[in-house]
Amino acid sequence: MKHPLLVVSLLLGIAIAQEPVAKKPPVLPVREVTVFKDGHAYLIREAPLPDGAGAIVLDELPVPVLGTFWPFATGAARLVAAKSGHDTVATDRPAMDFRQIARANSGKDVTIVTADKERIDGRLLGVPSLKDVPAASDGELLLLQTGSGTRVLALSQVRDLEVRGEFVPRIRGEEQQARLTLQIAGGGAGATVGVMYVQRGLRWIPAYRLDIDGKGQAAVQFEATLVNDLVDLERATVNLVVGVPKFEFQGLVDPISLQQEAAAVAAMAPQSQRFSNALSNSLMTQAAWHGQQQEQESRPAVAGAEAQEDLFVFTVRDVTLKRGERLVLPIASFALTYRDVHRLEIPFAPPMEVRQGLQSERVVELAKQLAAPKARHVLRLKNGSDAPLTTAPALVLTAGRVLAQGRMSYTPRGGETDLEINVAVDVQVDTEEREQKRDPGPFRFGDDNYARVDIAGSIALQNHKSQPIEIEVTRRALGLADAIGQDGSNKQLDLVQAWQDGGAPGWWSWWNWPYWWFQHNGFAEFRWTVKLAPGAATKLEASWHYFWR
């Protein structure tokens, strides 16, 4: 007759040996994602509801923008609630150091060799801990049952550890893990469950390549680089959006992500949108990326493009891209018409009265800012495609050779945009600005006396190219416009209009401008459009004045 205790021990051993490994909770795959250039992404994660499932558990928590998290169920299923929290979950991981190996093999006969080369035989009792889990609260001591008693060793003194019998290489324990639980009522055939939310971490970077023929036709290729630092995509539908919607609470994280996750994200989040940059259509800072090769049968396919209110969407299907990967996708090929134009902008200088008080280093800096301006060659593109052009890098080639790289600006369908490519070194530019006269007044404005200063300026142009050019010239000046020659036009600008193209000049902040300057003066703008034959020259003249007290 078998000893009862032995039978129990054997049955317990069999039960432990046959204990099934806990299944990983189901993951909701990303079915569709809408990606914006500023790094926000609107994700729809959905999966069929398993039969009899009353809850779906996700091991990872999303970190949505406040107010954008929406769980759902379809078909005969009904969403009861979505709850985030920390659950105690079983862990099984490799033992990586003496402490973990001692815990995993507790109760085994061992031989230990210390740093002093002392050899100790005994039964391993483990590592004392405040918890029954491997954690930072583990002590630095190892307990060993020897023939004479219990030996306590410092872990740092253990040089070698030999486990006799079967070695256990993994350690089991428990830990707290953040989880999202979707509680579901009902179900049946066709029922699905999912979540949708807006989160940062997935962005797309557009780029253009233009091959110009020199006769007004440009063959354009448009591509997108997906930068995925958010979530794995498996044969997902990806919508690439031209334009950026307004997310009123984009700086706030939804509470569903739990407080500590929200705090961590807030600590990493930029102040006032760090992702805004030179590409004004909210193109995010570019990270290093490379195209990921895909199998022929799983290559994503562009389904087309459609307009939705103020946004424009390109849809790409069957995109597979793991978190941390980058993917380059050809989006469209089309033709645009263009014409060659040269532009020249003359920077304006501060009045002589404020220049006289400059220190020597400021004089040198001002001279650099006002150095001889250069005409610039631009391609004036007419957008006759079916989609708007978006702010993006644009590589320009001619006859297959690289000519330049410029910046494409957002352009609606039917609109025009200038793509700057090179400085026109063959167009000579000489400028002059001189004081014509000074009338000390008094000119009375209210109770104050002012002097009037009259200025005349000229711009000399000569075309050294072998072909005729069209050049558009803009000159701005501080003051009030008086006259303009050579069939030009002039107008007065307010402060907003003066800075809207490129902002204030660098020297503007060197002075505290008096309040009366903006009352009695302004910004004069002079414009000319000139056609110059090869070798031809012309001089453009204008005059203006300002008041000073």
Q: Read off the CATH number of the domain in which 156 is found.
A: 2.30.30.100
Question: Has residue 492 been placed in a domain?
Answer: yes
How many structural domains are present in the chain?
Answer: 2
Predicted pLDDT of residue 250: 86
Question: Has residue 298 been placed in a domain?
Answer: no
Final residue in a domain of this structure, among 168, 202, 223: 168
DSSP state letter for 1: -
User: What is d(CA 391, CA 207) in angstroms, rounded to the nearest whole number?
Assistant: 9
Predicted pLDDT of residue 204: 96
Question: Has residue 375 been placed in a domain?
Answer: yes
Question: Has residue 226 been placed in a domain?
Answer: no
Predicted pLDDT of residue 305: 61
Predicted pLDDT of residue 208: 97
Residues of the chain with pLDDT under 70: 1-26, 130-139, 259-310, 356-359, 363, 367-370, 496, 500-503, 506
DSSP state letter for 286: P
Question: Has residue 293 been placed in a domain?
Answer: no
Q: In what order do the strands lie in the sheet with 170-185?
A: 55-58, 170-185, 78-94
Helix (H, G, I), strand (E, B) or coil at 537: strand
pTM: 0.71
User: What is d(CA 501, CA 326) in angstroms, rounded to the nearest whole number?
Assistant: 34
Final residue in a domain of this structure, among 132, 153, 168: 168
Question: Has residue 509 been placed in a domain?
Answer: yes
Predicted pLDDT of residue 11: 27
Question: Has residue 39 been placed in a domain?
Answer: no
Q: Which of 273, 295, 275 is nearest to 285 (CA)?
A: 275
Final residue in a domain of this structure, among 123, 140, 168: 168
CB 500 within 8 Å of CB 458 = no
Range of the domain at 153: 96-168
Predicted pLDDT of residue 394: 96
Question: Has residue 220 been placed in a domain?
Answer: no
Residues paired with 417 in a beta bridge? 381
Question: For residue 197, what is the enclosing H or E element?
Answer: strand 192-200
